[in-house]
Amino acid sequence: MLTITQALVDQIVAHARKDHPDEACGVVAGPAGSDRPERFIPMLNAAMSPTFYEFDSGDLLKLYREMDDRDEEPVVIYHSHTATQAYPSRTDISYANEPGAHYVLVSTADTDGLGEFQFRSFRIVDGAVTEEEVEVVAAY
């Protein structure tokens, strides 16, 4: 289960709305080993595409060095889908290389009547996708 603050959910959704119609992407870092997302890090979608996201390799290297210096790890890796439901695509699954991370997808398309923005979390390990419950809290 992903436990995340309302403030972080709001920041992720706001980023997805801001970058629409392109996909938004980013990371929420937290203390290593804690599974607690704390530091919101919006990233640039280097692909600048409505159907695909890609972290800039230089930005990603800088981010991982910074997290290492701060004894953090990527707790949440998020991106948005602009025209489909919030479910990992084959491409998303193939690029998922952090088995301990929560992969959050936000949909800025109303594809199932559940509302304009879907916020869902998944674990992706060795190509297997498992949806998990999301608990939104006021604070940890």
Domain locations in the chain as residue ranges: 2-137
What are 12-61's pLDDT values in tens digits? 999 998 999 999 999 999 999 999 999 999 999 999 999 999 999 999 99
Phi and psi for 49 in degrees, rounded to 5?
A: -130, 145
Burial letters 63-92, b for 16+ CB under 10 A, else e: beeebeeeebbbbbbbbbbbeeebebeeeb
The model's pTM = 0.94
Which band of pLDDT confidence, cut at 50, 70 and 90, is reported for residue 63? Answer: very high
* Pairwise CA distance, residues 86 & 117, whole Å: 9
Looking at residues 60-71, what average pLDDT do you find? 97
Selecting from 3.40.710.10, 3.40.140.10, 3.90.110.10, 3.90.1150.10, what CATH number does the domain 2-137 have? 3.40.140.10
